[in-house]
Structure 1
């Protein structure tokens, strides 16, 4: 038995030894490589050729930028008290909301019971427009009242006369308010002066009438040797002068009193329809500046472009306008290109941060933009140049320059074709083959 067990252990050991030798041989065969095999495995891949087709199409050179849609004019309005001591100014009625459209003659809100009325005009309101006043702002008021159908003329242009006063009364009646008056509600403060002036006219008139009657009845002339009275005719002349002065004083007082347009109750806007761009006050709030901000004039786009883009920018260029969330796109024209501008440095962590120079550009839409565009950030594609018709174009990377300054493109079959480059834009360039041999659909090398 011992011999049998010994022989079995010898066989197992032999098998294990054979297996270990086989495994070692396999490992050795995979670890050992020939120089040729190593060179083949580490050799870079065969170079590939990148190509692109030759195209025939209209080529445009474009400049892409971001812009903001806004009205051509912005007006901030804060009604102020007519005089000191009138108490706090409080919003008592709100007629509009942010984003609302405003038309001529609309009441925007009421402050302390008085309306704020929007009227057309380019001259900003800067004073109360009172009877007897004269100036361009009065002329503007007359034209605004004419536009609304309240004024048909009658006063000298730019002079606040009786016809203008009547028109102001009509305006206030149309918006449901009593017209403001130089003498306060109902003109009470002016009544005493007007009554006194009228009394002076009446007294002077009676004196003139009495003297005329005495002369007509043949009353004797006063004796020059007596009390030194003037002849009746001379006395009549003095009385008539007094009457004339009284009548003139009364007329002047009437001309300076009556319906008026207080500064706190009107705002002139350069064009309509206007829009309410900012307004957050509610009934009961005290008036704080600015109470309401209005955008007037047609919507346009303003943008800031890089100074290096100045050579290709000029008025008259066509622009495509696209806004996020707006289905319809719009087109427009560059109408203004300003000089290089730099804003005042901004403060950053207590230090002045450097300002970035830019070119201010204004784009005017081809047609009126809907109110939904107002305040939007939009994408602008400005067509700086465009070929007159279809031309051969290739990617810019397909054109190479030689030491002698000549340019060419290489086709996929290895041919080198001399070309004259033209307009470039959006990564492509117009090419004119100097010896032919380049057609649409041919593939040119753009990289290796």
Structure 2
């Protein structure tokens, strides 16, 4: 095959730089200048095998690793002074002490509804269901998960809970005796101060989830590329260490980002974004960073077990299709599929794994 006959395809596939998509180049260019008139030098060629492999195209975004949004908690009781407060960075689990007032511990149970009334036998409501669920999950029997009735079973479970915390065993949960919050939580900042008088509604602390996550603002016109559970790869701030991850949440509403905080590599800072939350599969790798920029490669398309050849094995045909040159057989028309920066999926008559083809030498 002459140098003027063989051409090389360039730019195949999807670009993964800063969210910009590339595309197929419609015309392959010679990999080497044509020889001068009368010259007989052959084009530099080598061979490669058709391989069966997994192909994947990705798009690159820039995000921030951290503990996610903060939630403010307030005191729920009265007292002369805060006598104990958790330290920033502390992780609080269900039934742990959240704070002390006048030496009295105030535990925290899992729930999203703030406590607004004393809970006692005979009451019904979603706040009672929240209490029953929290007690049952902690093993305080015989409370029933989800029960909206504060009956004998709830009262017995409350007495056991009170005994565990050395409270008077009244069977009644007084207003302010506990706090409900999303758990577990990480103390981000403590707003109250030791010795400060305690009143219901006094700012107590700002809390986050204890798990490191990655926040990625995705331009709204590219949000269709993401869905919950989608696989991603996160490159940590050292630019070497990577961790697999998944899209854990995707905001339902688009927002206009703060131009001062928006990374313009994700697109125009004036463009509305949808905030995606990425959960790391190996969070221990990220523990040295409490807040830092990261890169996130989101899988756009994937084919497992594809037959593939190097992109430089493709030949442009006059009809707009492609061919590969099989050793000892000549040019074989092929259909192309998914491509990456270096490989392209192919199928054609007699094209199997191990078939040797000609490629442009690097």
Q: TM-score range by the shorter chain?
A: 0.5 to 0.7
For residues 341-380 of structure 1, what are the structure 2 equivalents within 5 Å?
A: 341-343=254-256, 355-364=270-279, 372=287, 375=290, 377=292, 378-380=294-296
Bigger CA radius of gyration: 1
Match of 2:190 among 266, 279, 286: 279
Q: How many residues are aligned here? A: 306
Asked if 1:141 corresponds to 2:56, the answer is no
What corresponds to 2:309 in structure 1? 393
What corresponds to 1:40 in structure 2? none
Give the direction of change, closer, same or farther, for the CA distance of 1:425–1:307 in structure 2 (3 Å limit).
farther
Match of 1:129 among 115, 118, 123: 118
What corresponds to 1:91 in structure 2? 82
CA distance in 2: counterparts of 1:81 and 1:299, whole angstroms: 32
Higher deviation after alignment, 137-146 or 370-379:
370-379
CA distance in 1: counterparts of 2:299 and 2:142, whole angstroms: 49
For residues 327-346 of structure 1, what are the structure 2 equivalents within 5 Å?
A: 330-334=243-247, 337=250, 341-343=254-256
- Residue 107 of structure 1 and its aligned partner are, at CA, apart by 0.5
Give 1 or 2: higher helix fraction.
1
**TM-score, structure 2 normalization:** 0.61
Match of 2:181 among 260, 265, 269: 269
Q: Given that residues 64 and 379 in structure 1 are in contact (C-alpha distance below 8 angstroms), is that contact kept between their aligned partners in structure 2?
A: yes
Instruction: Could you tell me which runs of 5 or more consecutive residues in structure 2 were left unpaired when the two chains were aligned.
Output: 1-31, 35-42, 262-267
- Residue 62 of structure 1 and its aligned partner are, at CA, apart by 1.9
What corresponds to 2:13 in structure 1? none
What corresponds to 2:29 in structure 1? none
- Residue 60 of structure 1 and its aligned partner are, at CA, apart by 1.4
Give the direction of change, closer, same or farther, for the CA distance of 1:161–1:337 in structure 2 (3 Å limit).
closer
Match of 2:75 among 58, 79, 101: 79
Match of 1:152 among 142, 145, 150: 142
Give 1 or 2: higher strand fraction.
2
Q: Given that residues 417 and 433 in structure 1 are in contact (C-alpha distance below 8 angstroms), is that contact kept between their aligned partners in structure 2?
A: yes
For residues 99-248 of structure 1, what are the structure 2 equivalents within 5 Å?
A: 99-121=89-111, 123-131=112-120, 133-152=123-142, 157-160=147-150, 164=154, 167-168=157-158, 170-176=160-166
Q: Given that residues 309 and 346 in structure 2 are in contact (C-alpha distance below 8 angstroms), is that contact kept between their aligned partners in structure 1?
A: yes
Give the secondary structure class of the aligned counterpart of 1:59: strand
Give the secondary structure class of the aligned counterpart of 1:108: strand
What corresponds to 1:304 in structure 2? 217
Instruction: Could you tell me which runs of 5 or more consecutive residues in structure 1 were left unpaired when the two chains were aligned.
Output: 1-45, 182-257
Give the direction of change, closer, same or farther, for the CA distance of 1:340–1:300 in structure 2 (3 Å limit).
same
Give the direction of change, closer, same or farther, for the CA distance of 1:306–1:393 in structure 2 (3 Å limit).
farther
Q: Given that residues 399 and 408 in structure 1 are in contact (C-alpha distance below 8 angstroms), is that contact kept between their aligned partners in structure 2?
A: yes
